[in-house]
Amino acid sequence: MLRTHTCGELRIKNVNETVTISGWVQGVRDKGSLLWIDLRDRYGITQVTIETENADKQIIDTARSLGREFVISVTGKVAERYSKTDKIETGDIEITPDKIVILNAAITPPFTIEDETDGGDDIRMKYRYLDLRRNPVRKNLELRHRIAIETRNYLDKLNFLEVETPVLIKSTPEGARDFVVPSRMNQGEFYALPQSPQTFKQLLMVGGFDRYYQIVKCFRDEDLRADRQPEFTQIDCEMAFVEQEDILQTFEGLIRHLFKTVKGIDIPTLSRMTYADAMKFYGNDKPDIRFDMKFKPLTPKGETYGFPVFDNARLVVGICAKGAAEYTRKQLDELTEFVKRPQIGATGLVYARYNADATIKSSVDKFFNEEQLKHIASQMDAQPGDLILILAGEENKTRKALSELRLEMGTRLGLRDKNMFACHWVIDFPMLEWSEETSRFHAMHHPFTSPKPEDIAMLDTNPGAVRANAYDMVINGVEVGGGSIRIFNKQLQAKIFELLGFTKEDAQAQFGFLMNAFEFGAPPHGGLAFGFDRLCSLFGGADVIRDFIAFPKNNSGRDVMIDSPSPIAKDQLDELGIGLKK
Amino acid sequence: MLRTHTCGELRIKNVNETVTISGWVQGVRDKGSLLWIDLRDRYGITQVTIETENADKQIIDTARSLGREFVISVTGKVAERYSKTDKIETGDIEITPDKIVILNAAITPPFTIEDETDGGDDIRMKYRYLDLRRNPVRKNLELRHRIAIETRNYLDKLNFLEVETPVLIKSTPEGARDFVVPSRMNQGEFYALPQSPQTFKQLLMVGGFDRYYQIVKCFRDEDLRADRQPEFTQIDCEMAFVEQEDILQTFEGLIRHLFKTVKGIDIPTLSRMTYADAMKFYGNDKPDIRFDMKFKPLTPKGETYGFPVFDNARLVVGICAKGAAEYTRKQLDELTEFVKRPQIGATGLVYARYNADATIKSSVDKFFNEEQLKHIASQMDAQPGDLILILAGEENKTRKALSELRLEMGTRLGLRDKNMFACHWVIDFPMLEWSEETSRFHAMHHPFTSPKPEDIAMLDTNPGAVRANAYDMVINGVEVGGGSIRIFNKQLQAKIFELLGFTKEDAQAQFGFLMNAFEFGAPPHGGLAFGFDRLCSLFGGADVIRDFIAFPKNNSGRDVMIDSPSPIAKDQLDELGIGLKK
């Protein structure tokens, strides 16, 4: 070993020991009579101090030749520092070197290797191996490692088996966003990379595995939005002989275990909210409940509002921002601009300031008298000092817009602290959603999701009203996991495929092996999957999952470090039996 | 939960408790007055007993309607059995049912779900989800899970970080056996699936990660021999600031930890053998040292043997099979046939039986007198009762053939017990091997392997003689892991690429990002990878890795259960910008 200790472990108790440490030169300071080298490795930084008056010329020369990021090893005695620092954990000691060996020189890196770097995103992605040297990046990946280990420990104790499912699977027309892999040995045929191990984990349940999990790479070839990756990781789980309640308990337990062991935080029992309530109170199926600010519907005091915008709207709904009555005209204009942005899509914003002196000043004073405004304030549960914000219009669109406004207000009012964690379940999702685009029902979760037994009769009469045994875990307004109780009966599965517009032949061709498997004694089963990258970023208090992936791709799906994807040789294409379209 | 207990946990202490168990019907026996149901799940089998005289008619009817592999749940009282059995762990108790619920019916499976099944390989692969219900198959995967968990625990304690490296990487001409993945967003360009995360783990070392591991899927599109899979799993590891000795110690520790925790076996310190000795004494770079039977070279007593086959041979070498002098003519003929098979390729076998009465009877008595035979016996360290087997011919071919014969004799003499484990290191591999086919050197391990410092000078003068800091771990004659200390210097890496016939441009195009990374302060580093599937099969005492993979592919790379690979739709090809060659 080219060291006896890491750069993070020497303490006052080691004084007078002769040690060897190795690492990267963080910096050299030369004061003439004193020379300091800060030596860094994954574990910390240790200071090497040379008194030029007493030191060997060779050591001084070597030290003066060092540049940033040189890799060196230093052998010497641990000494107590004159001026101790508590900025680094080794701040009580320093090394008086007897020997410095340059293991590898380094050219100057294109950005500084410090917590706050001068490198932009692009350059740091190109030199990702240098970016990985920075503490914040490495700590993210250490956190990821720790979450993975604790996930496995928790599930292992509950008798879950980690089973690797195949990566080279079968493409299905459903899988419009499958990555495919041409087979050399079976020319003209393709494997597909899994978007999830869904069918395999269900087959493991049919195979009696009882409890399965896997931390597994999945793949989706879709146009990448800001924070999507073509390859991503899931904690994928499935259990047999369970009901929804068992799944909720088990994985609520996992999340609480992770918060406890990884972050030292006790998370209370997770509350549960139906999908219907989530939409009603937050306009969102993954509400951020770190703060309240629930939607309140508005009704006129008399027959009508006497305000055409409200009177002509399908829905008039508002939120009450506590203590925000002091908002300036400029701030209110910003909010109006915010809701009118095309991606939000509201036509305007009605606000009313419930002043501390109990007067109300609104943007619609022309239409409403004091009494009417008081009525509104009372419907909104507003108190003096609060700001009322109201949207009106078509129902779904208005809820969606108000949801965005609510989140914006939460952010502005500092109610969305990244170090606070509000975890809850959203349950009772609808089974199907109607697509205007394709004029048919789509599965809201996926086609293997079981309807609620009490709703099955409605499959024939009112499919859109059928609720599923499906659930999402939401943390701070982010859907970190979701799953369902599965169908385990061939006839019901066939019926659902039919509702989803599959012909019998299509269903058999694509999912025949699963439906056949159900005939051989499938147990009741269900499960869920967590988005592991997202979970890690939440634990890390960050927004961007890319920072929690060692070698991420950019928004065009490119790895700019290795320059991939890239063209391949013609004879390689020939051997695969494929050609490029002109 | 559709059970209070599993089918494997009820004991005499649970008698009189009311419980619910769920599982699959292993069988029903109907003796008229008594009806037994054996109910099976992953954890065991529990007997349900119905006394038809006292039982509810509905329970009797339900029980009589059950077929094999029906999924049921049984609620009832735990009772002590009259006739206990120790064949199953729940053999002291039985359940007297109050309720039997059929959760799912089952059609008759195509083979019996028993330890010894009547199903052939093909049918079991097609219905893999049923095969997984069989104890031996499930136990293999439980073993795999356990080895993975213990691997992680061991490495985590030593500060290794599990880091996920990308699956969508870059194809290189070196990677003639890369699976490629067309990119939809970057038409005409391809990702490749990794044959190993080699360059990424080296970049993690450059990035200061210090200790990395990953249990990771790798991919190779090669014609599959009996026991290869297109996707396979490695325990992939790398460490910085180490020398070869540190790697050997660390991973010897891992293997001993695994044997101890998973199998309860104490493995002694691993012995080490140079590649040169492995070839000299065993004709094989992964010798099975569960038994001795080392090669002994033969030299004539006088000037010549007086036996043309020996006199004309480059090498005359033999083994001594202890206690096998009683081998019959038929057995010896079998051995002769064995070595003459084309894949072994010897032209003949010379044997000499050193009888218990100290006479020697050989297949070449025509050419050798008693004294000469005694000379041979003494060179072979043979004792009365032993059988001497000798091959002669061209050096490498003869060693290889004798290696096969040695293993065959080991098997025949019962010296290769699957429950015995002989682990050792083979070290000091040559850096390069000459290929007659391409008339150039190839890397024996891979192009990133470091030469031994004391041999570097020979790179210019005698490259074939340069030894590498490369090592394999061998268990029972199987190479389970291998690795090397890496080059971490750009100039040396460039020189090796040149020796391997890369142009500067090719080397830069393919590995530029790695060589550039070396310029920014690469630490000395090295590592290794274990074949995880193979390691599991060794621990399981089995030969076939397929049995340790949940959903394996067959020898044509097909998954016959899901019927993959398969053709994909034309519009999917169009969208990817590729077409099929006619």
- Determine the pLDDT at residue B257: 98
Residue A169 and residue B560: Cα distance in Å, rounded?
11
Chain A hits for B489, CB-CB cut-off 8 Å, are 104
Tens digits of residue pLDDT in B372-415 = 999 999 999 999 999 999 999 999 999 999 999 999 999 999 99
Chain A hits for B253, CB-CB cut-off 8 Å, are none
**Hey, is A227 helix, strand or coil?**
coil
- Determine the pLDDT at residue A506: 85
Q: How large is the average pLDDT for residues A404-421?
A: 96
Chain A hits for B551, CB-CB cut-off 8 Å, are 165-166, 200, 203
Chain A hits for B565, CB-CB cut-off 8 Å, are 168, 170, 181, 183, 186, 189-191
Domains A12-104 and A291-412 share a fold: no
| Angle value at C-alpha B323, between B319 and B329, nearest 5 degrees | 80
Distance from CA of A130 to the nearest CA of B (A): 5
Q: Which chain B residue's Cα is nearest to A128? A: B207
> Residue A22 forms beta bridges with which residues?
A73
Token reading at A229: 């990756």
Task: Please say if the pLDDT value at position A442 is more than 90.
Answer: no
Domain B12-104 classified CATH 2.40.50.140?
yes
What rounded mean pLDDT belongs to chain B?
A: 94
C-beta atoms of B204 and A550 within 8 A:
yes
- Determine the pLDDT at residue A508: 86
Q: Which range, of A144-148, A440-444, B160-164, B470-474, averages the lowest pLDDT?
A: A440-444
Task: Please say if the pLDDT value at position B228 is more than 80.
Answer: yes
C-beta atoms of B221 and A185 within 8 A:
yes
Tens digits of residue pLDDT in B296-325 = 999 988 888 989 999 999 999 999 999 999
C-beta atoms of B164 and A550 within 8 A:
yes
pLDDT band, residue B512 (cuts 50/70/90): confident
Chain A hits for B581, CB-CB cut-off 8 Å, are 187, 574, 577-579
Q: How large is the average pLDDT for residues B27-31?
A: 96
pLDDT band, residue A79 (cuts 50/70/90): very high
C-beta atoms of B132 and A209 within 8 A:
yes
Nearest to A376 by CA among A392, A389, A393, A394: A389
- Determine the pLDDT at residue B440: 87
- Determine the pLDDT at residue B174: 59
> Residue B72 forms beta bridges with which residues?
B23, B102
Task: Please say if the pLDDT value at position B570 is more than 70.
Answer: yes
Token reading at B392: 């002669």
CATH number of A291-412: 3.30.1360.30
- Determine the pLDDT at residue A227: 76
Chain A hits for B519, CB-CB cut-off 8 Å, are 106-107
- Determine the pLDDT at residue B206: 97
pLDDT band, residue B173 (cuts 50/70/90): low
Sign of CA dihedral B265, B270, B271, B274: positive
- Output b/e per residue, A545-563; b: 16+ Cβ within 10 A: bbbbbbbbbeeebbbbbbe
Q: Count residue pairs from A and B with Cβ separation < 8 A.
A: 359
Task: Please say if the pLDDT value at position B204 is more than 70.
Answer: yes
Residue A539 and residue A547: Cα distance in Å, rounded?
12
Distance from CA of A521 to the nearest CA of B (A): 4
**Beta pairing, strands A71-80 & A18-30:** antiparallel
pLDDT band, residue A250 (cuts 50/70/90): very high
- Determine the pLDDT at residue B542: 87
Q: Which chain A residue's Cα is nearest to B73? A: A241
Of B109, B173, B181, which is closest to A520 when you measure between CB atoms? Answer: B109
Distance from CA of A188 to the nearest CA of B (A): 6
Chain B hits for A217, CB-CB cut-off 8 Å, are 164, 167, 217
Of A104, A189, A217, which is closest to B167 when you measure between CB atoms? Answer: A217
Token reading at B394: 């061209």
- Determine the pLDDT at residue B444: 86
3-state secondary structure labels for all residues of B167-229: CCECCCCCCCCCCEEECCCCCCCEEECCCCCHHHHHHHHHCCCCEEEEEEEEECCCCCCCCCC
Residue A28 and residue A30: Cα distance in Å, rounded?
6
- Determine the pLDDT at residue B442: 87
Q: How large is the average pLDDT for residues B538-547?
A: 91
Distance from CA of B149 to the nearest CA of A (A): 8
pLDDT band, residue A571 (cuts 50/70/90): confident
- Determine the pLDDT at residue A180: 94
C-beta atoms of A170 and B43 within 8 A:
no
- Determine the pLDDT at residue B249: 98
C-beta atoms of B519 and A127 within 8 A:
no
The residue ranges of every structural domain in chain B are 12-104, 138-274+422-549, 291-412
B535, B413 Cβ separation under 8 angstroms: no
Of A164, A520, A550, which is closest to B165 when you measure between CB atoms? Answer: A550
Distance from CA of A353 to the nearest CA of B (A): 49
> Residue B214 forms beta bridges with which residues?
B236
Q: Which chain B residue's Cα is nearest to A105? A: B521
- Determine the pLDDT at residue B329: 95
Q: How large is the average pLDDT for residues B490-514?
A: 88
Fold for domain A138-274+422-549? BirA Bifunctional Protein; domain 2 (3.30.930)
Tens digits of residue pLDDT in A499-512 = 988 899 888 888 88
> Residue B44 forms beta bridges with which residues?
B41
Q: How large is the average pLDDT for residues A64-86?
A: 96
A255, A473 Cβ separation under 8 angstroms: yes
Nearest to A396 by CA among A446, A434, A353: A434
Q: Which chain B residue's Cα is nearest to A161? A: B145
Tens digits of residue pLDDT in B419-464 = 999 999 999 999 998 888 888 888 888 889 999 999 999 999 999 9
Going by C-beta distance under 8 Å and a sequence separation of 6 or more, which residues neighbour residue A308?
Answer: none
> CA–CA distance from A188 to each of A180, A574, A580, B568, B578 (Å)?
12, 12, 14, 8, 11
Q: What percent of chain B has pLDDT over 70?
A: 99
| Angle value at C-alpha B318, between B312 and B323, nearest 5 degrees | 145
Task: Please say if the pLDDT value at position B133 is more than 80.
Answer: yes
Which among A43, A73, A168, A490 is the top mutation candidate for probing chain B, defined by the most B β-carbons within 10 Å of its own β-carbon?
A168
pLDDT band, residue A581 (cuts 50/70/90): confident
- Long-range contact pairs involving B369-372 (C-beta distance under 8 Å, separation at least 24): B371/B301, B372/B301, B372/B305, B372/B306
Q: Which chain B residue's Cα is nearest to A69? A: B521
Q: Which chain B residue's Cα is nearest to A204? A: B129
A317, A281 Cβ separation under 8 angstroms: no
Tens digits of residue pLDDT in B35-72 = 999 999 999 999 999 999 999 999 999 999 999 999 99
- Determine the pLDDT at residue B175: 57
Residue A347 and residue A309: Cα distance in Å, rounded?
10
Task: Please say if the pLDDT value at position A75 is more than 70.
Answer: yes
Nearest to A299 by CA among A376, A383, A398, A396: A376
Residue A202 and residue A449: Cα distance in Å, rounded?
11
Token reading at A195: 């978007």
Nearest to B19 by CA among B81, B67, B75, B90: B75
Of A42, A183, A208, which is closest to B209 when you measure between CB atoms? Answer: A42
Of A170, A188, A199, which is closest to B563 when you measure between CB atoms? Answer: A170
Provide the angle, in degrees to the nearest 10, between the axes of the packed helices A329-340 and A395-412: 140
A401, A363 Cβ separation under 8 angstroms: no
- Determine the pLDDT at residue B212: 98
Phi/psi at B317 (5° precision): -145, 145
- Determine the pLDDT at residue A174: 59
Of A130, A557, A561, which is closest to B520 when you measure between CB atoms? Answer: A130
Tens digits of residue pLDDT in A151-167 = 999 999 999 999 999 99
C-beta atoms of A523 and B22 within 8 A:
yes
What are the respective helix, strand and coil percentages of chain B, to the nearest 5?
30, 25, 40
Q: Which chain A residue's Cα is nearest to B555? A: A185
Nearest to A206 by CA among B146, B207, B131, B116: B131
pTM, entire model: 0.95
Chain B hits for A551, CB-CB cut-off 8 Å, are 165-166, 200, 203
Q: What percent of chain A has pLDDT over 70?
A: 99
Chain A hits for B114, CB-CB cut-off 8 Å, are none
